[in-house]
Amino acid sequence: MSERGVYGIYCDRLYDGMNRLISDSGWRSNQIVLNCRVLLAGFMTGVPTAMGIQNLQVGRGRPEWDVTPPPPPDPNTTTKLEDAAPFVIPRASLTFQFLDASDAIVAGATNRLQIVAVLGLNQPSPATSPPFPLREFGLFGQLNGQPFMINCIRHPLIEKSGAVSLERRVRLVF
């Protein structure tokens, strides 16, 4: 186990319609929330309704975060995104990869997991619509039929138009 305990990082990359890299955020920390630990405890005790990562949600956050940087999510009380109607990328559209200590993809289970989500062209809105403002995201599992937030990040505004795709990589270390 890492000396840091459970932690997560993420990286966002925007690509144009010809799959050319437009921007790369670099790796940044995200906040693992208390519910992640509750979900892990459910797995350890064999709770039959504890389910792993079910989706990644992206949200608009709050427009005032563009002027004043958002406060980091409180790991003890944050259970959902600020956006009441986030865009949801379901589990079937996520790529899960185990990583070794040097971040190479490996076949067997390790304590390092990478989740790759892509908001493709025309997602979450068509190219003819105004850009979708992204300021937050979170991974969600499920416990007793209820969504359980695993991690949360609030970040500078990304204006996601339908003409670009966004690749979000999240790494969790247990």
Q: Mean pLDDT, consecutive 10-residue segments, the chain of 174 residues?
A: 76 95 95 88 78 94 91 93 96 96 95 96 86 95 90 94 95 93
pTM across the whole model: 0.91
From residue 170, alpha-carbon distances to 71, 110, 112 in Å are 20, 15, 11
At 122 the pLDDT is 92
CA distance 164 to 174: 33
Q: How does DSSP classify residue 75?
A: T
At 3 the pLDDT is 58
CA distance 164 to 173: 30
pLDDT digits (tens, 9 = 90+) for 76-100: 999 999 999 999 999 999 999 999 9
Please return the burial class of 117, using the count of CB atoms within 10 Å of its CB with bins 0-12, 13-18 and 19+. Answer: buried
Token representation of residue 47:
């709770």
Q: How does DSSP classify residue 112?
A: E
Token representation of residue 31:
């906040």
Q: Report yes or no: 150 and 39 within 8 Å, Cβ to Cβ.
A: yes
Q: Which residues, in sequence order, are bridge partners of residue 112? A: 173
CA dihedral sign of residues 49, 50, 52, 56 = positive
Please return the burial class of 120, using the count of CB atoms within 10 Å of its CB with bins 0-12, 13-18 and 19+. Answer: middle
At 1 the pLDDT is 38
At 78 the pLDDT is 95
| Domain chopping of the chain, boundaries | 7-173
φ, ψ dihedrals at 37, nearest 5°: -65, -35
At 143 the pLDDT is 85
